[in-house]
Structure 1
Amino acid sequence: MSSNIKNNQIILRNRNHNKRYKFAIKKAIKKYLISLTNNREKFKTQIQYSKLNESNLSLVYQKIDKAVKKKVIHKNTAARKKAKLAKMLKY
């Protein structure tokens, strides 16, 4: 097996791994944003609203941190995404 063929196989394998992590992040973010809008209507008190959304936010943070650890996304990109999501929780 030539090194070129083997290298292409490794590239495809790594691309699939990276896509899986990125898709998981996108899916978690969508779920968080949907919960933000739905819970805003359900809960009248701010305490109930924020506790439920903070748990969803922590799940998104876990996915983002895992992707950074595996070097799928850059740490500054992760920090930017996390800051943007945390800012949405306030409003």
Structure 2
Amino acid sequence: MMTLTAQMSNTGRAWHLYVVLYGETEWPTFQWERTARVPTGAERRAALASLGYEVAPGAVWSWTEDSRDHGDDSTPVVLIAAIAVRGQDGGAA
């Protein structure tokens, strides 16, 4: 079973979920038009499904933080979540 990585981040204007496709210039992307509330697990699963993906069996979301300007910890924090996904048919989409 081939898995890919989906990531979710907030730019300060909206939450974005995207599936990382190495070697591609455009990645499947979903956006929520809100900043305050983190999308629920159910909302994330629905967004992934709309892109043709599902959470890989046993996978869980992991969270990390970065600085808005990489390496400058005086700039706003950017939260980044990641999870393993697969195509809805059980393989990579």
Q: Tell me if TM exceeds 0.5.
A: no
Interval of TM-score (by shorter of Structure 1 and Structure 2): under 0.3
TM-score by length of 2: 0.22
Q: TM-score, normalised by structure 1?
A: 0.23
Between structures 1 and 2, the one with greater strand share: 2
Q: Which has the higher contact order (CA 8 A, sep 6+)?
A: 2
Structure in which a larger fraction of residues adopt helix: 1
